[in-house]
Structure 1
Amino acid sequence: MKRRLNILCVLVLLVLGYSVAVTAYYMGLGMKAGVEASQEIMESSDKEAMESFRKLEGMEYIGLIPRSLNQGVMKLLSDSIYNEKSGEYVPVMYSSMAVSVRTNRSWVSSAASGVLGLLTFVAIVWAIVLFFKLIVAVNRSHIFNWQNVRRLRRMGLLLIAGFGCSLLSCYLSVCSLREVLVLQNYDLSISDLVSTTILVIGLTALIVAEVFAIGLKLQEEQDLTI
């Protein structure tokens, strides 16, 4: 039983770790690209290098939703991309892309996005720490107790809070982009920018916590009747 439970716990931990690792990976790529661009500009006063840095500085990752969802397949596949295998352009429909555009974001909005990103990271890391403590308690045969119920509740609330912060950060980013960017066949969306995996795991943790709490209350009532 413990072995099976440990395997399931490891799988959940891998999912959480993957979510954090993907976010950290793309953040690292962005920081690396920024450092490399800064070094190129310091080594060269070329105008082309300056222009490349400005493009990189304004890079935004956006989610897209086609405007013509009910106007047939050809309206959906209104864009094209070059296929090097066949040597021809093939129709495509974009769901997300990276775009370089200057936004008129205020310092309040930028600071809020930074704080929300930090809160998301802290919430997920804290939830992972609580999950580790839960695994340790289970392996020590301390399973059905109120401390584990509190851990599960806190873990669920932290994951939901992390999802909420991430969602709000993406919403602020999309709102600022909509002021300066309008695409011909698409509307900006946040559907592909926020992963719902963290939200699902958080809700599941809350459900399991309530199941544990009901079981403990029934056990306490049974002990009192005896």
Structure 2
Amino acid sequence: MKKQLNLICVLIFFFVGLSLVPSIYSMSNAFMDGFEVGMSQVEDVHGQETTNISAEILTPMTLSLWPKSLAVTSDKLFNHKDQEWYPASHIQTVVWAKSKDTVITRYASFLVLIGIFFIIKAIVQFYKLINAINHEVIFDWMNVRRLNRIGRNLLISFMLSQAYMITNYWEATRLFELEGYEHNFWCDFQPMTLIMGLIALLVGRIFAIGLQMKEEQDLTI
């Protein structure tokens, strides 16, 4: 039984870590690319008025789009394999907006980093829970608290990431209006951490009810 439990835990750790790779990869790439582009832009405007520098620097912003009509495409893509153009529609696009217009989104991006921190905290609590179960400490109030911490950390991470998505969506709708497209918030909605957090809280509540029933039975004996 312990081998099966440990195998399942290894798989959970592996796939949770794998799920974080796209976010970490995209954030690190965006940071490096933004830093390089920002430095080059600062060098280009070097010698100009300092009041004009911030207006010239560009910041990447993600647009979550949905075509107003799937029957009509307003864009095309060139296929190098057959050297032909194909009609296409963009669902998610990165645009470079003026930094002075994206101040809120740039600061809100730190919420994603904080959210990853809370996911790591949840993973640590999960490791402690599995370690306790391996030592045959299962129905214990400490495990209930660990499950509650896992659930809270995952819910906080979900709220932080969604706060960033809402901020990005709001600024995107404020700055851009594209022909043939409308902004779509639900493309960025990722409920997995919400679901896992609620499941952890549910299991913790079940453990708590079981412990309360056990304590009541012990008192009646």
Change (3 A) 1:188 1:55: farther
Aligned to 2:165: 170
SS of alignment partner, residue 34 of structure 1: helix
Q: What letter matches 1:21 in structure 2?
A: V
Q: Give 5+ residue unaligned stretches, structure 2.
A: 47-54
Quote the residue 2:58 is aligned against: 57
Check conservation: 1:55, 1:101, Cα contact below 8 A.
no
- Output the aligned Cα RMSD: 2.8
Tell whether the 8 Å contact from 1:156 to 1:202 is kept in structure 2 after alignment.
yes
Inter-partner Cα distance in structure 1 for 2:170 and 2:161? 14
The number of equivalent residue pairs is 213
Quick one: which amino acid aligns to residue 71 of structure 2?
M
Question: Which of 27-36 and 121-130 deviates more?
Answer: 27-36
Question: Unpaired runs of 5+ in structure 1?
Answer: 48-53
Q: State how far apart, in whole Å, the 2-side matches of 1:182 and 1:191 are.
A: 18
Aligned to 1:182: 177
Measured in 2, the distance between the counterparts of 1:19 and 1:26 equals 12
Shift of 1:148: 0.7
Of residues 78, 82, 85, the one that matches 1:82 is: 78
1 CA distance for matches of 2:32 and 2:192? 27
Contact (CA 8 Å) 1:174, 1:190: kept in 2 or not? Answer: yes
Whether the 8 Å contact between 2:105 and 2:164 is mirrored in structure 1 is no
Pair 1:12 & 2:7 matched: no
Change (3 A) 1:99 1:56: farther
> What is the SS of the residue equivalent to 1:144?
coil
Between 115-124 and 92-101, report the one with greater CA deviation. Answer: 115-124
Distance 2:23 2:114 in 1: 14
CA distance in 2, matches of 1:95, 1:114: 21
Which consecutive aligned stretches of 4+ in structure 1 deviate over 6 angstroms post-superposition?
none
* CA distance in structure 2 between the partners assigned to 1:93 and 1:106 by the alignment: 25
* Amino acid across the alignment from 1:24: I
Cα distance in 2, alignment partners of residues 135 and 201 from structure 1: 16
Name the structure 1 match of 2:94: 98
CA distance in 1: counterparts of 2:101 and 2:38, whole angstroms: 22
